[in-house]
Amino acid sequence: MDSYYPIMLNISGKLCKVIGGGKVAERKVNSLLECGGEVEVISPILTRELEKYAKEGVISVKRRKYVYGDLEGSFLVFAATNDEKTNEECLRECREKDILLNIVDKPDKCNFIVPSKIQRGDLTITISTNGKSPALSKKIREELEALYSEKYIEYVNLLGEIRKRVKMEITDINKRRDIMLKIINSGIIDKYIGGKINDLKKELYDFYKKLIMD
């Protein structure tokens, strides 16, 4: 198997199609919607959740089996069906039209795979074994979930705020980098997670003020 090139895709407003209407397809649809994708499902049968999305106009639906040509104009496609013939036709169409394709549980027939993921607001941590051991990816993900708690959502947002302020107030690029590294390595987030401080924003900004005064 070839190695995959790690990349983060912006799918906001882009047409993404899911072949299949079961629980696996539902999970793929949810992940695409979370990232702003314009989603179309092609399947004669839908889960209750997908039916709800269709009625609300959240997704568009073709209520039939996939046929060659359905993927025209797609940015990316998930084939979430156990029908090997359908999978092969999706693969043929996507190859001919240079469309990104993931066939669920068939990494050898994909031109992209989805890594195991931890999401903490704007912090995204992904783990991949290049398709060799999803179970190991899951184990590592669970270990990292315990290490990077939900409190990192606030932390990352505050780092973003401070970075903007640093860029406005400090002209020297090297000094900017040094300040941000010192803030990140200050241990403030560990104290916050451990309950030793209550106001994360105050602690970070006080530390920043001290740095620029030194």
Residue 37, domain CATH? 3.40.50.720
Same domain for 22 and 108: yes
pLDDT digits (tens, 9 = 90+) for 162-210: 999 999 999 999 999 999 999 999 999 999 999 999 999 999 999 999 9
Q: Can you say whether residue 69 is alpha, beta or left, with left for phi > 0 and alpha for psi between -120 and 50 degrees? A: left
Secondary structure (3-state) at 117? strand
Whole-prediction pTM value? 0.83
Give me the domain span that covers residue 27: 15-114
Secondary structure (3-state) at 16? strand
Average pLDDT value for the chain: 95
Residue 2 has what pLDDT? 67
Residue 108 lies in a domain: yes
What are the contacts of 160-166 at 24+ separation with CB within 8 A?
160/122, 162/204, 162/205, 162/208, 165/208, 166/208
Residue 27 lies in a domain: yes
Same domain for 107 and 19: yes
Query: How many structural domains is the chain composed of?
Result: 2
State the average pLDDT over residues 85-109: 94
Residue 170 lies in a domain: yes
Residue 81 lies in a domain: yes
State the average pLDDT over residues 49-76: 98
Secondary structure (3-state) at 131? coil
Domain final residue, candidates 59, 92, 114 = 114
DSSP 55-108: HHTSSEEE-S---TTTTTT-SEEEE--S-HHHHHHHHHHHHHHT-EEEETT-GG
Give yes or no for residue 214 having a pLDDT over 80.
no
Distance CA 196, CA 189 (A): 10
Residue 206 lies in a domain: yes
Share of the chain above pLDDT 70, in %: 99
Give yes or no for residue 1 having a pLDDT over 60.
no
Give yes or no for residue 157 having a pLDDT over 90.
yes
State the average pLDDT over residues 33-59: 97
Residue 105 has what pLDDT? 86
Residue 186 has what pLDDT? 97
Distance CA 101, CA 117 (A): 19
Same domain for 159 and 108: no
Same domain for 155 and 109: no
- Strands 60-62 and 123-127, by their bridges, are unpaired
Same domain for 175 and 103: no
pLDDT category of residue 5 using cuts at 50, 70 and 90:
confident
How far the first Cα of the chain sits from its last, in Å, is: 53
Residue 179 has what pLDDT? 96
Same domain for 108 and 34: yes
Residue 61 has what pLDDT? 98
Residue 89 lies in a domain: yes
Give yes or no for residue 80 having a pLDDT over 90.
yes
Beta bridge partners of residue 79, listed in sequence order: 19, 103
